[in-house]
Amino acid sequence: MEKESQLENLNLLYSQLLQQSAIPAPSGNGLSFIKKKVKGHIYWYLQVNIGNRQTQRYIGPDSPETQDKIELEKKLWKEAQPDIQKRKQLIAMLQAGGVWFVSHNEARVFELMERLGFFIVGGVLLGTYAFNLYQNMLNVRWPIRTANTPNEMDKKRELHHLKMGISNQEVNLKEAVFHSGYGFFEVRTFKTKETLTTYRFLAQEIQVEILTHQTEANLNQPLYLKSLNTFATPVKYLDFLLDEIQPAVMVARSGIRVNVPSPGRYALYQLVISQQQEAALPLKANNALEQAEQLLSLLIEKKTETLLSAFNAAKARPDNFYSQMLRGIQHLPEALQHKLRLNFFQNEQNRTELNRTEQNRTEQNKTEQNRIM
């Protein structure tokens, strides 16, 4: 009972932080203004610090207009301090209570992505970071696995690999950031002159990979995203995640506002991923299936409508996403499969599809056994 009360209290604190994070609180953390003298003229730059790495973005020549703009930015930082301090108090209580949170260096990268405007224009956090963040959103704690298992070691390697997805849409990023209330200056994070989709920060400790939906027109080559002035790796079925997202907040710094896929869609997507990588990357397939199992077990008890919406979206797709999802279900524990049948496969057509998939799986296994013998 005491544990349930503690979880409920943490859920209230998280909800409060999420609500407060909806109001921009511009921070000058890691940002500074510097001026340079070139051929007798003075120019201003915004300097961004990421660990030992420094990048500079040109602002303009020294003038009353440039100086006024800089002072307005500093004023925003100062005015946001009381709100930032309140949020930091919530952060401290949440972290002390045992919620999931990221390290100092990881938080710095998320903070820069927020300030860049990535989440403002629809960018979405994916992968293990999103899965871990669902713990705080759904008020649950995932089971702790044995640290020396191969699957857990694979998770640790992935932990510092930030996967972020975004649609290839026409967005004026500069305009979006300006109207967001986060500040007046663009904070560029990526190298824009190279065809890169993965960027390394803090002595290569943290990688950020930009992903987008794969179409017939962009099957293998990196796709240029005009909105971010960078490239992204096309990924099959990613639109299933990007089509329904919701806000979340990282319990770090002063609360970093991000977007994540609907947990129902994420669970079904992981079922599909487990089938795509079953032969080539068995560790990743097992990891995807494990995440799907944990989320489905929770959602089917507490968020049935969320899961039903995701199932309907999967079934409505014209591609083979739904059939691969059905194959993934066959690898779940029997008790969970039974619950899914009762809740989502009650009509005759759905039962027939699921039974056909199960029959095909059985026949494939028999064929494989005969081949081995």
Residue 80: the pLDDT is 87
Residue 229: the pLDDT is 74
Residue 174: the pLDDT is 58
Name the residue with tokens 């303009």.
60
Residue 278: the pLDDT is 63
Note down pLDDT in tens along the chain; length 373 residues: 556 667 789 999 999 999 999 888 888 888 889 999 888 899 999 888 776 677 788 888 999 999 998 898 889 889 889 999 999 999 999 999 999 999 888 888 888 888 878 888 888 999 999 999 999 999 998 886 533 344 444 444 445 788 888 887 665 555 555 555 555 555 666 665 566 677 776 655 788 888 988 877 676 788 888 777 778 889 999 999 999 999 999 999 999 999 999 999 999 999 999 998 765 677 888 999 999 999 999 999 989 999 999 999 999 998 999 999 999 999 999 999 999 988 887 654 555 555 555 555 555 555 544 444 4
Residue 73: the pLDDT is 86
**Strand-by-strand arrangement of the 53-61 sheet:** 31-38, 41-50, 53-61
3-state SS string over the chain?
Answer: CHHHHHHHHHHHHHHHHHHHHCCCCCCCCCEEEEEEEECCEEEEEEEEEECCEEEEEEEEECCHHHHHHHHHHHHHHHHHHHHHHHHHHHHHHHHHHCCCCCCHHHHHHHHHHHHHCCCCCCCEEEHHHHHHHHHHHHCCCCCCCCCCCHHHHHHHHHHCEEEEECCCCCCCHHHHHHHHCCCCCCCCCCCCCCCCCEEEECCCCEEEEEEEECCCCCCCCCEEECCCCEEEEEECCHHHHHCCEEEEEECCCCCEEEEEECHHHHHHHHHHHHHHCCCCCHHHHHHHHHHHHHHHHHHHHHCHHHHHHHHHHHHCCCCCHHHHHHHHHCCCCHHHHHHHHHHHCCCHHHHHHHHHHHHHHHHHHHHHHHHHC
- Domain residue ranges of the chain, discontinuous segments joined by +: 102-261, 265-372
Residue 348: the pLDDT is 42
Give the whole-angstrom CA distance, residue 85 versus residue 30.
Answer: 17
Residue 197: the pLDDT is 74
255 φψ region: left (φ > 0), alpha (ψ -120 to 50), beta (else): left
pTM of the model: 0.82
Residue 373: the pLDDT is 44
